[in-house]
Amino acid sequence: MQPSLVKLSKFLSFVLRHNPASIGLSLDPAGWAQVDELVMAARKAGKPLTQELLRHIVTQNDKQRFSLSTDGQKIRANQGHSLAVDLGLEPLTPPDALFHGTATRFLPSIQKEGLLPGGRLHVHLSPDEQTAIKVGQRHGKPVVLNIQAARMAACGYQFYRSANGVWLTNRVPVEFIMFP
């Protein structure tokens, strides 16, 4: 994607996951914004967004971060929220293992507390190690933790999978984490 579109995509992530009020927008309880309202609010905030660009970003996004409603009138982020939205995801049985990419500097704290959602609603887990490495690199020297997801599920922890394939859970206690 062109750099200018990546910039707009990051702006959309910020607005739709964290701060719609920053451009005077509101989301419904399921996290949806009206496409026409979003485009108008973004333009008022000085962003060169159009409906056409927005639809291009949704379809071309490398991680499929956004969904349009079936009628195409609404848009929401698929995951990553700090706002308390209810995406309506059904609990799902996870695979035996999932992966969490983080940075080595967080390990001492994770070894004490397990994985916590921090600023977001969920802890994010990847289905494969390659993706987890990329996620970890965003924070520093990457390290991949192996999460015993099936064992967690057997102990009553719930898992969800976002529309773009990210596994979500509320927290991961340290006894379910295999450190490298």
Tell me which residues touch ligand HQG (CB under 6 A): 13, 63, 65, 80, 102-103, 106, 109-110, 113, 115-116, 118-120, 124, 135, 138-139, 166
DSSP 18: I
11 or 40, CB closer to ligand HQG? 11
* Residue 48 beta carbon to ligand HQG: minimum distance, rounded to whole angstroms: 22
105: Cβ contacts below 8 Å, ≥ 6 apart: 139, 140, 141
Residue located via tokens 């994985």 = 115
CA dist., res. 175 & res. 147, Å (int): 9
* Residue 158 beta carbon to ligand HQG: minimum distance, rounded to whole angstroms: 18
**CA distances, 91 to each of 30, 31, 63, 159 (Å):** 16, 18, 22, 5
118: Cβ contacts below 8 Å, ≥ 6 apart: none
* Residue 60 beta carbon to ligand HQG: minimum distance, rounded to whole angstroms: 14
* Residue 107 beta carbon to ligand HQG: minimum distance, rounded to whole angstroms: 8
40 or 171, CB closer to ligand HQG? 171
74 or 100, CB closer to ligand HQG? 100
